Amino acid sequence: MLRLVFAIGTPLAAAQADGNPHEWDRLRRCDHTDYDPQCGPCEGIGGYAGSDKADDVQIPNCDIEAVYDAGTRVRPVWGADLTVLKSHEILIGKKMDPACFQAFPSNDSTADNCYKPQECQIYSDMNKYKALILVANQAGNAWNVVGNVTSTIYHQNKNMWIVNILGRLGLVNQCICTSPREGGDPTKEGVGPVQYNWVDNLFYVATETIDVEYGVGSMTMDHWAFGPHHAWTDPATGLIVRMWQPFNGLQVLEPGSFKTGSAYEDAVDPGNWFERSQHLFDQISPDGTKAPDWCTKKAPINTFRIKCGDDGFPEQDDSEVSTNYLQYMNKPIGTDKAAASDLRRARSKVPRDDFKGDDFQSMSQTLNKYLQKHAPKSKDCDLWTIEELQELQVSLLMLRDSQLNDLYHETDDNRKIQKDIQQLAQEWEELNQLAKTDPDLARAHRDGHCHEAVMWYVHHLPEDMKELLKDKVSLPLLTSMRHDLKETAVHGERVHRAYEEKVSCASCHSLVYPNIAV
């Protein structure tokens, strides 16, 4: 067995067609073509990567076992119809929007890339549907405010639909309709899904022992490559265990999870993902004329669609993706859905007596009765973490109706939301760190978010949206304790000022009246 020593100062990859702008070394990138010297054993193996920075990657140990005659090796196996029940991945793709929702692998490394850890299931049906479906649970996003994203990606012919459930709460749905093109170039034809015979292009490199990521452990595998693509297979069966492409991603197919043939017929339980009984492939059609329901005009009102026509097929080219997404984030879904009654309520600054209390405590108790009636899954504020509350608020921010907020701004109403999502995320992160310095500050910080989340739900969502979410949403109940500034806390003033802004409900929902001189 030959031991390959990895040393600092490994020579940079040379002669790539795109110039290797991120200066990745030969361990992170070693194309099978355009290389001098030629890419060899235990090179181009990649690993856990977190960004484009050259040193932001964990390269696994690799031992060269032997270099055999390629004709003696079992060639890599894929298939027209197949299922992979567990694929561990870091999806690397060109950054198309601020939150990396639409990242898609490119054919060169010149772009700024997104790095998205995810756990996937893969379903390929090239005989009947000519389609590939990925079901993924993605860990976080670029802003780190939405939380995990559950995605189902449909790729059929030149069309791709990325259907997302945003956050652990699952209140916001999203569909992105696109036609992926080589290098993201809108002048080029759209590309189809990975074909069943793509492995025919691979060339044998060596037989190596690698410490496979995600707890799989040390395995002796055959190393194959084509261009920047690398694959490692079980020498006995040819089944793929590990793949790496420096600007596409890391992928580990857990041994035993790869099934060829029509195994997906029995393997899929779509109810786990979309609470639907139909088969995943029923969302599309064999002739390519049907788009997933959530991408069409039939989608529920808590679903926002990007680049989708009424029929669910792409209606804009990729050059408009980023602009479209930013417009969405500044003017989220639910926009222009408010009824006349919602607008009348927004114009009224004085709540009815049924929604008031004699003091802060009774106000909270009164409003909690409303919450428990209209959002039965609501729970005490102290059962929430600050991160869960902030994730809930992001979902509510997405579901708000901007007409209501416009009215609050016109009349300088305390109910107005003054910051966009990026400003809020930055402010929350700073306050989270300050509040951690003192238990009383942390409690006040959390309680303030409970009050603000309820205010956003009550005053920024139209009634039809609230009715749709009634049995889905869990809201925090309001705390009865009114926090005062803790002068001994170093960071007390800023945290308390933010708290006072969040509990502004008391300004209107209290029955405390001014003294009137006789």
Provide the CB-side half-sphere exposure for 146 (13 A, CA).
28
Q: Assess whether the previous peptide bond of 98 is cis (omega < 30° from 0).
A: no
Using pLDDT thresholds of 50, 70 and 90, give the confidence band for residue 330. Answer: very low
Rounded CA gap, 509 and 357, in Å? 6
Mean pLDDT for the chain overall: 81
pLDDT given at position 351:
56
Cα(351)–Cα(366) distance, rounded to whole angstroms? 12
Q: Helices 421-435 and 492-502, interaxial angle, to 10°?
A: 130
List the structure tokens of 224.
């194959």
- pTM of the model as a whole: 0.75
Which of 76-80, 236-240, 466-470, 488-492 shows the highest mean pLDDT? 236-240
Neighbour tally for 123: CB within 10 Å: 25
Q: Report the alpha-carbon distance of residue 14 to residue 34 in Å, rounded.
A: 8
Average pLDDT estimate for 338-349: 80
Q: Is the pLDDT of residue 329 over 70?
A: no
Q: pLDDT tens digits, residue range 229-240?
A: 999 999 999 999
- Residues 153 and 144 sit within 8 Å (Cβ to Cβ): no
CA–CA gap between residue 195 and residue 197 (Å, rounded): 6
Q: Which amino acid is at 143?
A: W
pLDDT at 105 over 70: yes
Q: Which residue has the higher pLDDT, 2 or 414?
A: 414
Torsion of CA 86, 92, 95, 100, to 10 degrees: 30
| DSSP letter for each residue of 205-246 | EEEEEEEETTTTEEEEEEEEEETTEEEEE-TTT-BEEEEEET
Predicted confidence at residue 164, as pLDDT, reads: 85
Q: Where are the domains of the chain?
A: 2-72+198-234, 81-196+261-330, 340-507
Answer whether 445's CB lies under 8 Å from 431's CB.
yes
**What are the pLDDT digits (tens) for 54-101?**
999 999 999 999 999 999 999 999 988 888 889 999 999 888 776 676
